[in-house]
């Protein structure tokens, strides 16, 4: 694993050092994938708060998998100004990196994926500043949702409010059985403002989504799987990274597939669900036309057109 950036203070690195790395497929139990330097999203930064969001690139058998590492430890990955700014910078980097094949969003803070809004920070804002922040969060989630490559959120703890909205912006979600997820804004006199009121109903249906939002209900990983909120669930382990390990296995299953095919099927599905079936079929046809010989049937690195 390598990290993007050259800051002196590395909360991500200190936390990462304590997290065991699952072995790549075919490693025979040997050490994890080798890593090479990445171009830094924060290479010229001198943020006094340190790095709260970073990128790690896997190599060897896992080359092409990139991890978005959330490590705002003291504030449980809450969506403060610095966190959001760095996440936006990281996502912009992903949009422009043709070597990225699959992205895994994970937390390096034990017991939490993302705790949602930074309420202490928001309490100090004017109404105008708070509105600007929410608008920025909404656009950030859209930027994550339209990443051209498949994305997986590994929910190993609490994902509440904006934290669940971040997971909802990803294509796929894995969760630990003990994870807690919910859009709890109504319990604070608010409503989901970063896409939750739109993306949750598309996953679990209108009635279930309304119940969850109206009541501020939290669901476990097991219940989330039953509702269709997550794709896979795993019993939490002593290391506290069961969802991450499941997400990594899922990413490894995606990795060998033809990148252009994955990109086009993501576009066809994402655009198609917003329109009527006939228009959706036309979108599928346009996407299919972009997967041409000799790319058709090719897999992985043999495909001539990459992201």
75 and 7 assigned to the same domain: yes
What pLDDT, on the 0 to 100 scale, is given for residue 10?
39
127 and 237 assigned to the same domain: yes
Provide mean pLDDT across the span 223-234.
97
Confidence band (pLDDT; 50, 70, 90) for 292?
confident
Average pLDDT, the chain: 83
Record the tokens describing residue 202, joined without a space: 């598309």
Active-site residue among 50, 56, 157, 162? Answer: 162
107 and 240 assigned to the same domain: yes
Assess whether pLDDT exceeds 60 at residue 277: yes
Assess whether pLDDT exceeds 80 at residue 18: no
What pLDDT, on the 0 to 100 scale, is given for residue 298?
53
Active-site residue among 185, 209, 243, 258? Answer: 185
State yes or no: is 165 an active-site residue.
yes
250 and 263 assigned to the same domain: no
Provide mean pLDDT across the span 112-128.
84
Spatial separation of the C-alpha atoms in residues 198 and 188, rounded to whole Å: 19
Confidence band (pLDDT; 50, 70, 90) for 228?
very high
Confirm whether 307 is domain-assigned.
no
What pLDDT, on the 0 to 100 scale, is given for residue 52?
93
Q: Report pLDDT digits (tens) over 165-222.
A: 999 999 999 999 999 999 999 998 888 989 999 999 999 999 999 999 999 999 999 9
State yes or no: is 117 an active-site residue.
yes
Task: Supply the pTM of this predicted model.
Answer: 0.82
What pLDDT, on the 0 to 100 scale, is given for residue 44?
34
32 and 154 assigned to the same domain: yes
What pLDDT, on the 0 to 100 scale, is given for residue 12?
54
Read off the CATH number of the domain in which 16 is found: 3.90.226.10
Which of the pair, 103 or 297, is modelled with greater confidence? Answer: 103
Active-site residue among 41, 63, 115, 117? Answer: 117
Active-site residue among 52, 67, 121, 165? Answer: 165
Confirm whether 38 is domain-assigned.
yes
Q: What is the DSSP letter of 191?
A: -
What pLDDT, on the 0 to 100 scale, is given for residue 1?
57
Name the nearest CA neighbour of 93 among 60, 118, 57. Answer: 57
Q: Is the peptide bond before 294 cis (omega within 30 degrees of 0)?
A: yes
145 and 270 assigned to the same domain: no
Q: Which of 39-53, 73-87, 259-273, 277-291 has the lowest mean pLDDT?
A: 39-53
Assess whether pLDDT exceeds 70 at residue 116: yes
Neighbours of 50 (CB within 10 A): 21
What pLDDT, on the 0 to 100 scale, is given for residue 121?
78
83 and 133 assigned to the same domain: yes
141 and 264 assigned to the same domain: no
Confirm whether 284 is domain-assigned.
yes
Residue whose pair of structure tokens reads 């934290």 in the numeric block = 163
Cβ neighbours of residue 135 closer than 8 Å, sequence gap 6 or more: none
Confidence band (pLDDT; 50, 70, 90) for 293?
low
271 and 174 assigned to the same domain: no
Q: What percent of the chain has pLDDT over 90?
A: 65
Note down the domain range covering 280. 259-302
Confirm whether 123 is domain-assigned.
yes
* Total number of domains constituting the chain: 2
Confirm whether 86 is domain-assigned.
yes
Q: Report pLDDT digits (tens) over 69-113.
A: 999 988 889 888 899 999 999 999 999 999 999 999 999 999 999
Confirm whether 129 is domain-assigned.
yes
Provide mean pLDDT across the span 243-270.
96
Spatial separation of the C-alpha atoms in residues 200 and 218, rounded to whole Å: 13
Confirm whether 269 is domain-assigned.
yes
142 and 264 assigned to the same domain: no
Q: What is the DSSP letter of 22?
A: P
148 and 240 assigned to the same domain: yes
32 and 46 assigned to the same domain: yes
What pLDDT, on the 0 to 100 scale, is given for residue 190?
87
Q: How many helices (H) and strands (E) does the chain have?
A: 11, 11
Spatial separation of the C-alpha atoms in residues 9 and 24, rounded to whole Å: 29
Q: Report pLDDT digits (tens) over 22-74.
A: 554 444 443 344 333 333 343 333 333 589 999 999 989 999 999 999 999 88
Name the nearest CA neighbour of 153 among 176, 185, 178. Answer: 176
Cβ atoms 232, 152 nearer than 8 A: no
State yes or no: is 63 an active-site residue.
no
Confirm whether 166 is domain-assigned.
yes
Spatial separation of the C-alpha atoms in residues 237 and 168, rounded to whole Å: 24
């Amino acid at each position: 694993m390598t990290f993007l950036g050259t800051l002196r203070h590395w909360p991500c690195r200190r936390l990462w050092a304590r997290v065991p790395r699952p072995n790549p497929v075919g490693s025979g139990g040997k050490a994890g994938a080798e890593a090479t330097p990445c171009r830094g999203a924060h290479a010229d930064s001198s943020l006094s708060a340190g790095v709260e969001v970073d990128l790690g690139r896997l190599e060897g058998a896992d080359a092409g998998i990139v991890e978005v590492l959330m490590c705002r430890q003291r504030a449980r990955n809450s969506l403060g100004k610095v966190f959001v700014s760095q996440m936006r910078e990281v996502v912009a980097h992903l949009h422009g990196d043709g070597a990225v094949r699959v992205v895994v969003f994970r937390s390096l803070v034990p017991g939490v994926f993302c705790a949602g809004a930074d309420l202490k920070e928001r309490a100090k804002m004017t109404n105008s500043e708070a509105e600007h922040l929410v608008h920025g969060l909404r656009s950030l989630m859209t930027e994550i949702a339209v990443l051209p490559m498949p994305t997986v959120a590994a929910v190993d703890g609490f994902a509440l409010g904006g934290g669940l909205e971040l997971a909802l912006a990803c294509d796929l979600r894995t969760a630990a059985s003990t994870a807690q997820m919910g859009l709890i804004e109504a319990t604070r006199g608010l409503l989901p403002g970063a896409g939750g009121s739109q993306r949750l109903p598309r996953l679990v249906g209108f009635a279930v989504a309304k119940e969850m939002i109206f009541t501020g209900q939290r669901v476990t990983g097991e219940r989330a799987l039953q509702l269709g909120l997550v794709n896979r669930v795993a019993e939490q382990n002593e290391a506290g990274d069961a969802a991450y390990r499941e997400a990594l296995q899922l990413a490894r299953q995606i990795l060998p597939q033809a990148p252009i095919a994955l990109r086009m099927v993501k576009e066809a599905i994402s655009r198609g669900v917003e329109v009527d079936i006939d228009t959706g079929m036309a979108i599928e046809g346009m996407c299919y036309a972009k997967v041409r010989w000799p790319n058709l049937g090719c897999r992985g690195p043999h495909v001539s057109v990459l992201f």
